[in-house]
Chain A
């Protein structure tokens, strides 16, 4: 809670100002019954018309003041609330951007989305309401009590008899509410997750006719959400009747004992009328009070969820683990020295004692069975994950000593699943370098063999890429994703099986075009044909290097490699 509300600090002056305005309004409201009593006692009772006019005028003037204060308050409170939530959202997003890929495992995407929107809204609403009206309720209650004491302390005492009970009761309810609403938000996460899965897998769901099945699955999370929401809200529903009941009982006590005092002549009638008036005011605030408690509990639950994100300290990406040692300027050179790697939280090593070196401008093909660790190997280079043992040298320097930003800037990465973003084709190619000239874009798209296809689209480079590139064929996506990486002009280019959807001819032209690149290339592939064009081939099996060398060498030395070659040449010869 504290963590989150520290974001109000920059807006403390507008907030304080808004509060002052609200107090002013409140003051006017509280003074009204007093003036009312004056009109009755000094005006009506004393048959003094002048007094009535005079106090009436005061009342009207005060109302104007309150109105003006209210309008200005509206500006200041919404400024505070909106700017606060804006900062909070940004801070969370920034934090999320700095997460390591391991940290992402902690929160599902769906959960992060809920936290960034839904949870922020909950807290923001409460802040706004408190600045505008919510605080009024407790203040009105306190103010009414104070005024009642001023009027007649003895009678007023009856109004506060129930206060300790109410206080304990409310603290208890808030604690309950926080845990209940926390659960509700978790349910929203689940709902979001099922929804996101379904959107991503819509073709699969349709192909396997699982609409009804998915609907049941969704139904389950939706009804869980419903049940928990109902539970949470119903628990909170006890607040208002309990408060009202205690308050009304106090009021009756005032009436009873007040009348007794009138009988003995110790209390004037006006006092009782005023105190009853205040007591009714208090009851009026109670429905708002119950509201506040509910909202507060909700906001607290949301704030705790946001604090979870904001308070992550040790798992953000370190830019550089130690001071720079100065690297040998061997352009694009890459060395693996006895690298072993186990996924954080995993138990079996995925890579085991991997060593190899790729010289500047060389091309290394990485082959291996499904699940051998090829993609994992690539992901260690831009430090998506930290190696468990051994070290990786890029241009002669341990990657852990590189400034993360600089390291990633010299690496062009084409992932296995070509993920594109909403925007035009040109936007997507420029994605890694928004400032790139159109000439540069054309150059890389030609290299990536996608230029001609793009030209064929009715809108050319302005063609919009649908959600995650659904309107493009698999091969088109792969080539765009290659073009995107090429535009970076990295020293090291990593292609993770990125040509699997390309036909033979296109792929051939692609490799020819790429041969001009001076970057060191790491190519994960299944195809012997592609591997043959590389300077060296690294064959891994179950995380271990089983063969390393040129095509011809491997044919001689490695039975596994030979097996792969046979499996492919069978038809092609």
Chain B
């Protein structure tokens, strides 16, 4: 357990469990998977076992859930995870070329779980991301970039490669996929300044 949740992470895991009513600890499974992902960049076998032990369920029960949802990665990811929506609203506005640009610029093959050779990128074709009003929609480390063109996609990749953190269309940027997963686990405080709206 210490490997999957090192240091203070085990305390954070307990705090996540405490969000839910007593006797309903299993509800914490999804945020715990995000927590594990924030540490290793994906949900490792050790993490599956550690979560099972924390919640007193079987590893199979944990993996059944982890493999159901697309935002949990059961294979290692690049530092940055780029998601490109190709669903209809985005496709009509040119998303296929954006996806191809992302794959080409990062060097990721077309296979689903691929990581670029430099370990920096994973590219995912996404279903509707709920930003149809600003298609094509892209997420970099789960932060939105709107109306992305292939040129803009290439530029974003270059800036990430240079160590920059491009400013998203709304909300905070995350310097890596792991950081975003901390927020997904509900652990990152929201930034102090209001920033709603597009």
- Do A and B come from the same complex? no
* B residues adjacent to A (C-beta < 8 A): none
